[in-house]
Structure formats: C-alpha cells, structure tokens
Amino acid sequence: MQFPADLRYTKDHEWIKIEGNTATIGITDFAQGELGDIVYLDINTVGKSLEAEAVFGTVEAVKTVSDLFLPVAGTIAEVNPALTANPELVNTDPYGAGWMVKVTVANPSDLDQLMNSEAYASLVH
C-alpha cells in the first residue's frame, strides 16, 4: 500500500496535493481497497464553496456507498472527467489518473490540520 510523501491525508481517507492555491483531491489507496470495485462517482458540487470536512460527493462501490469529505475549505473548480466513463481509475491509480476534484483553496492554514504520510500510515496499520 502506498502513501506518497508529497501528499497530506485526512482521517476519512482522502488525500490532497497542493499546487499554488489549487488542491487536487482523491481517496487513498487504503480507502479504495476497503471499498472494493468502484462503479460510480456522484460529484455535483462544481462551483460550490464548501467548508473543510463538508461532503463534496459520494463514491459507489459494488458493496457500499461512501461520502467524500473535503480536506480544506474551498470552491470545487473541476471534477475529473475521466471518472465518468472509467470510475475504476480510482482503484487502479488512486494518486494519479483516479483523482476526483480540483479545488481553489480558501484557507491554506487548513492544511496544518492534515496528516503527513507517516501519520496516515500509522492510522491505517
């Protein structure tokens, strides 16, 4: 199981990568493994400003549906268009092609509340 060191993590198993004031967000390798085969994503929050830890969508797997929580406050700028036709990218490449949303970060200090890769690895092991 991978936990890239350049990402930050939440207790709810989302990851976030910051580039300037834009954050790319997805679910972790651990989360996709727990969910199983992902068959659908429902993210209809583009253009909405949300607080940190707000639900920004849901992910549907063969055995369950799970809420997706925003790690930082911000505005949903983009949903990964590839996931509409290929939701399994979240399973096969959770930190790359399986990213879910891009967010314009409202408060960069929200990142201080998130875990680094070592802390997240301790949480899930």
For residue 125, what pLDDT is reported?
86
Separation between Cα atoms, residue 40 and residue 49, nearest integer Å = 23
Domain made up of 8-106: CATH architecture? Beta Barrel (2.40)
pTM of the entire predicted model = 0.95
For residue 6, what pLDDT is reported?
96
Domain boundaries, the chain: 8-106
**Could you list the mean pLDDT of each consecutive 10-residue stretch along the chain, which spans 125 residues?**
94 96 97 96 96 96 95 97 96 97 95 96 93
Separation between Cα atoms, residue 62 and residue 6, nearest integer Å = 30
For residue 1, what pLDDT is reported?
83
For residue 117, what pLDDT is reported?
96
